[in-house]
Chains A and B, each alone.
Chain A
């Protein structure tokens, strides 16, 4: 039996002539120090990508990339197609896994100086893969053709529309017409299943080819300096003096980790289920709060928090600058120290980037800058705030609800966070200051002078003047020391 298989193998190899190449790849020496658990993230990203191809092809057999049918076909996949929900879950969570693994891989490569000579182009190919992967994530979010996809496209088009002079043409090109509609979805479908995957496969090939040709990066030792004229020879000496064959020495850790990732994905997808779709993509349903997927939330937050006057400039030049810097990195610091212990600036960059992106993402999950659209009608006035109040103050409490104040100002922890909470307004503003703030607005608050009658302002102020915690006196007008706080 074994003998028969071996003879089939020999017959095939006599014609295919790949046996020696495979053996060469499998047995190529890697530095002993590189066979580390730190080096498993790239291969795991690739494994998840392969899973994405498999689940993506399965989904494409049912998903209908037409604007009038896409949402229906997603609902069909979720509820009627046998195992459709699980395939959607695997593909959606697979995308999260892939993005996460890719970023961990990238941080590791950056900190270990693996992008330095002679591996500059491996890093460049990796940057293309990064852009492709994020492109897949965004276009995939569009194919989940729901309200978030529709308004996400609106955000994309609005950014593109800020391009000077040709902005509106760029918008038409992205949308495939004057509005977000059928041709928009078809364009993004073509990108998601043909264009970007083809690029991904091509650049994965190049990336792997370069890793094999140039050898895996050795574990960086402080003090071991990369020089263009000596590095190649040093590396050869290292892998021959202290190297091991890739198979199985390094590959075993890749294998174990990739297997755990696949099982982890299977479990997460089974527990968490498919991602969306949320409401159908009907733009006339405006009772919607559009949010991007998790890995774009930080950008969504950034757009809310950038000073408006910098926004157009940064939206258009920021991505170009960041991507340009990423591509230029190996040419800016292609030699020198590899170890992160001797590259404090690099460590600071990583810590800063992770902290900023993490904080923005966290802010994006509850977006304090957005009005809470239903707070005025859904969040009750805390009972304590209406106990023992005069009719005028109660009238004010009512107006704080009905005039939608609470969409931006919280009471008792419920309501918007755009403006300051009203629970202790009286400790911060005197009566006159409250009147002025309501009527003239300012500090990001609209002016309500035209929308409120003097009697209404009077009632709201009467209510707000009572808003100070027990034991904390209301603010006083220091210019009129004799006047009690409640009257000033």
Chain B
């Protein structure tokens, strides 16, 4: 038997066409799926100015817990839309607004006014009152929000969970 040369017959042409059409169709189908799944990463920043209340809420030389509602919240976020932060007022309009998240692995740091330290309950990170690293594993000072004072109100520029990948919240 001599090997028959590859010839395009009706039958195998249709089969090839079928494979080609399906390959194109699957590729087209993948576009919306992948786009949908990746959509949270399409936006570069999630930041907005958020009011934190009147300056009178924040006595000078003190650090107070404040909370705000995330500006990008969804109706079904519930309590998770609320985000706490630490507001340290030095004098006048001079502030430091720290994210609640430890720079090690994101656990909520707690302020101890008597020893003037932030302590983290997870892996023992400790920070000084100005956010500097005092001890434990955190690789950098506490994350700080940009702030501004307008018409007697404190505003911060926030909306994202700060991580080492994007610390300049």
Contacts and interface: CB of A to CB of B under 8 A. Distances in A.
Contacts of B104: 158, 303
Interface in B42-97: 43, 46, 65, 67, 70, 72-74, 76-84
A42 B70 CA distance: 47
A456 to B, nearest CB: 11
Given A157-B161, A304-B137, A446 B79 contact: no
Interface stretch (A114-122, A179-187, A253-261, A263-271): A179-187
A159 interface: yes
A290 B124 CA distance: 12
Interface stretch (B5-13, B19-27, B105-113): B105-113
Contact of B79 (A154, A167, A172, A280): A280
B165 A170 contact: yes
Nearest to A371: B119
Interface string A151-184: 1001101111111001111111101111111111
A373 B121 contact: yes
Contact of B135 (A283, A303, A403, A446): A446
A160 B76 contact: no
Majority DSSP secondary structure for residues of B touching A = loop
Given A158-B105, A160-B165, A404-B112, A370 B124 contact: yes
Contacts of B112: 376, 404, 407
Nearest to B121: A289
Contacts of B120: 370-371
Contact of B76 (A66, A162, A166, A444): A66
B161 A304 contact: no
B123 A370 contact: yes
B126 interface: yes
A167 B135 contact: no
A288 interface: yes
A196 B114 CA distance: 48
A119 B72 CA distance: 51
Interface in A443-475: 444-448, 450-451
A169 B41 contact: yes
Given A175-B40, A288-B121, A407-B119, A181 B80 contact: yes
A369 B102 CA distance: 15
A251 B101 CA distance: 53
A441 B126 CA distance: 12
A447 B81 contact: no
A303 B138 CA distance: 11
Nearest to A405: B115
B40 A371 contact: no
B166 A161 contact: yes
A286 interface: yes
A247 B164 CA distance: 57
A326 to B, nearest CB: 25
A67 interface: yes
Nearest to B43: A172
B77 A162 contact: no
A388 interface: no
Contacts of A67: 76-80
A176 B84 CA distance: 20
A287 interface: yes
B115 A283 contact: no
B139 interface: yes
Interface residues of B, number: 56
Contacts of B128: 446
B122 interface: yes
Contact of A283 (B41, B100, B110, B114): B100
A367 B108 CA distance: 16
A290 B107 contact: yes
B164 A183 contact: no
A68 interface: yes
B16 interface: no
A229 interface: no
B159 to A, nearest CB: 6
Contacts of A451: 115-117
B27 to A, nearest CB: 22
B28 interface: no
A172 B122 contact: no
B96 to A, nearest CB: 16
A300 B121 CA distance: 12
A403 B114 contact: yes
A68 B78 contact: yes
B134 interface: yes
A308 B78 contact: no
Interface centre among B74, B80, B81, B123 (most CB of A within 10 A): B80
A312 interface: yes
The 5 closest A-B pairs by CB, nearest first: A167-B165, A68-B78, A161-B163, A178-B46, A154-B106
Given A155-B105, A280-B79, A290-B107, 13 more contacts: A69-B76, A157-B161, A158-B106, A167-B165, A172-B43, A175-B40, A177-B40, A283-B84, A286-B100, A286-B109, A404-B115, A441-B134, A451-B117
22 contacts: A66-B76, A68-B76, A151-B122, A158-B104, A168-B160, A170-B41, A171-B165, A171-B166, A172-B43, A175-B40, A180-B161, A181-B77, A181-B81, A280-B79, A290-B107, A303-B137, A304-B122, A308-B139, A369-B123, A404-B115, A446-B128, A446-B135
